Amino acid sequence: MVSIKINEDEITAVLDRLARHLTDMTPVMSEVGELLIDSTKQRFIKGVSPEGQTWAPKSQTTLDAYAARGDRVDFRPLFGPTKRLSSEINYQTTESRVEWGSNLIQAAVMHFGAGKGEFGTGANGQALPWGNIPARPFIGISDEDRGNIKATVYEWLEQVSKAKD
């Protein structure tokens, strides 16, 4: 067994700084959260999944329902009359992780899809949902996101290691 002891004040100071900051990475997790929100919102604009697959278009039935209600028709997938799903993407951080997504009731169905009647029937006896909804994944990490996250973390580590306490 080989044991090496470093008696270099500068190196010890850098390692101590890193150790302190690595116990609470909330600042970098917030940066990653902002990055993931921006990336997710860009997916809505492009109409693609994290893997780059194009989302299924809106059905004619959905477009007809908007028109019947007098709603402005937006032909882009996942853009409803209120545009809330595409704009209400949020994140939360802890000392060591970030979670992001939408807490809107329709978010999971739009992301994972659902079959006609999968949630039973409404008070009027109509199936919920009233038709098949294809999955249009919008939460996830793309290859580009991975690279951006790595770059953000590396930059943060470099800043922390050079910081003056």
pLDDT for 33-91, tens place per residue?
999 999 999 999 999 999 999 999 999 989 998 999 999 989 999 999 999 999 999 99
User: Over the stretch 35-44, which tens digit does the pLDDT of each residue have?
Assistant: 999 999 999 9
Q: Strand pairing partners for 98?
A: 93
Q: Is the dihedral of CA 63, 65, 71, 77 positive or negative?
A: negative
- Letter string b/e over residues 35-66, b meaning 16 or more CB atoms within 10 A of that residue's CB: bbbebbeebbeebbbbeeeebeebeeebeeeb
Could you tell me the pTM of the whole model?
0.82
Nearest CA-CA partner of 79 in 64, 92, 68, 66: 66
